[in-house]
Amino acid sequence: MAEKSPDSSGSVDQCPALSPEQRMQSPGIGASKWVRLNVGGTYFLTTRQTLCRDSKSFLYRLCQADPDLDSDKDETGAYLIDRDPTYFGPVLNYLRHGKLVLNRGLAEEGVLEEAEFYNIPSLIKLIKDKIRERACKTFQLPIKHVYRVLQCQEEELTQMVSTMSDGWKFEQLVSIGSSYNYGNEDQAEFLCVVSKELHNQSYGTSSEPSEKAKILQEQGSRM
């Protein structure tokens, strides 16, 4: 780049002095847009824009040279942060693209500790939601069903189905012909299959869907 020649007075044109705030906002002047971090002995290189993504975070204050924030630098000029570098990676990537990406073997609880240390509210909420979701899946027992096969006549069918309660659900209806009672017309008979989710209940505590219905097992014992 060519230098300007001095004018007749012998002075050389100079850039006007900038305040510290202007230097922070002007790339290439005073402060680089790139920031080097030494986290637990591991170096990370990122931009000030990334670190300033959340104005409430420790990293934002670090880039603003907050006088209340005592931050030392090593011999290379990198900010020294005494934290686990393994879990800092996901935090930094979140600030880069807004997504939480965990390598295999990394615990969400570890990243949560770092998010809380760096005071990044949106990341804290995201991780807590994921931990809560994972806990629900872990402790949710497989849903078990109990099935009952009930025998009823045609005139009882509508009442039985309409009065089912306590979580019982109609599954299938099978016609088994008709029965003849002396003095009465033939009555069509059906087998009605019903089911119920047990959750944490035991099979022995489930209630009957209808007092009038006969369990097929009882029918089998008479045959």
pLDDT tens-digit map of 130-176: 988 888 776 665 677 788 888 888 777 777 777 777 778 888 888 87
Give pLDDT, residue 3. 43
Per-residue confidence (pLDDT) for residue 114, from 0 to 100:
95
Contacts of 171 (CB under 8 A, 6+ apart): 147, 193, 194, 195
| DSSP codes joined into one string, 128-147 | HHHHHHHHHHHH-PPP-EEE
Residues of the chain with pLDDT below 70 are: 1-31, 66-70, 138-142, 178-186, 199-223
